[in-house]
Copies of this chain bind each other. A is one copy, B any other.
Amino acid sequence: MHWPLTRVGKAHRPGESESEDRPGGKKGLPGQAAAAFPEGESMENPGAPPAHAFSDADRSAVYQAIFSRRDVRGQFLPDPVPDDVLGRVLLAAHHAPSVGFMQPWNFLIVRAPIVKQRVHDVFCTANAEAERMFPDEKRAIYSHLKLQGIVDSPVNLCVTCDRSRSGPVVLGRTHMPAMDLYSSVCAVQNLWLAARAEGLGVGWVSIFHQQALQDALGIPHDIVPIAYLCVGWVSHFNDRPELEKAGWLPRLALADLLYYEQWGETRPAQAEPLSAALTDLQTAIHQQGTFPA
How far, in Å, is A121 (CB) from chain B's closest CB?
14
Residues of B near A103 (CB, < 8 A) are 249, 251-252, 257
What would 27 A/B residue contacts be, using CB atoms closer than 8 Å?
Answer: A2-B85, A11-B60, A12-B57, A12-B61, A13-B60, A15-B67, A34-B234, A34-B235, A52-B236, A58-B64, A63-B92, A69-B97, A90-B254, A94-B254, A97-B189, A100-B248, A103-B252, A106-B263, A108-B260, A126-B175, A135-B169, A147-B171, A175-B209, A176-B210, A182-B227, A219-B263, A220-B263
Distance, CA A265 to CA B107, complexed state (A): 11
> A77 touches which one: B36, B79, B91 (CB < 8 A)?
B36
A11-B57, A63-B88 are known; give 4 further A-B pairs, CB within 8 A.
A15-B67, A94-B252, A97-B192, A176-B208
Copies of the polypeptide in the assembly? 2
B28 and A193 contact, CB distance less than 8 A = no
Q: A261 — which chain B residues lie within 8 A by C-beta?
A: 108-112, 115
Instruction: Judge whether A82 is part of the interface by a CB distance below 8 angstroms.
Output: yes
A116 vs chain B, min Cβ distance (A): 10
A171 touches B243 (CB 8 A): yes
A:93-137 near B, CB below 8 Å: 94-97, 99-103, 105-112, 115, 126, 129-130, 133-135
Residue A270 is within 8 A (CB to CB) of chain B in the complex:
no
Cβ-neighbour of A43 out of B53, B79, B243 (below 8 A): B79
Which partner residue on chain B sits nearest A111 by CB separation? B261
Whether B14 contacts A60 by the Cβ 8 Å rule is: yes
Looking at the complex, which one of B36, B86, B87, B101 makes contact with A248 (CB distance below 8 Å)? B101
Count contacts on A: residues with CB < 8 A to the other chain.
Answer: 154
- In whole angstroms, how far apart are the Cα atoms of A248 and B243 in the complex? 43
* Residues in B neighbouring A111, C-beta threshold 8 A: 260-261
User: CB-CB < 8 A to A68: which residues of B?
Assistant: 14-15
B91 to A51, Cβ gap below 8 A? Answer: no
The answer to whether the Cβ of A293 comes within 8 Å of any Cβ in the partner chain is yes
Within 8 A of B (CB), among A35-89: 35-37, 43, 46, 49-54, 56-69, 71, 75, 77, 79-80, 82-88
One digit per residue, 1 when the CB lies within 8 angstroms of any chain B CB and 0 when it does not, for chain A 163-196 equals 0001001011111101101100110111011101
Collect the chain B residues with CB atoms within 8 Å of residue A37's CB.
Answer: 79
A236 and B29 alpha carbons, distance in the complex (Å): 11
Decide yes or no: A290 and B13 within 8 Å by CB, A65-B54, A249-B166 being known contacts.
Answer: yes
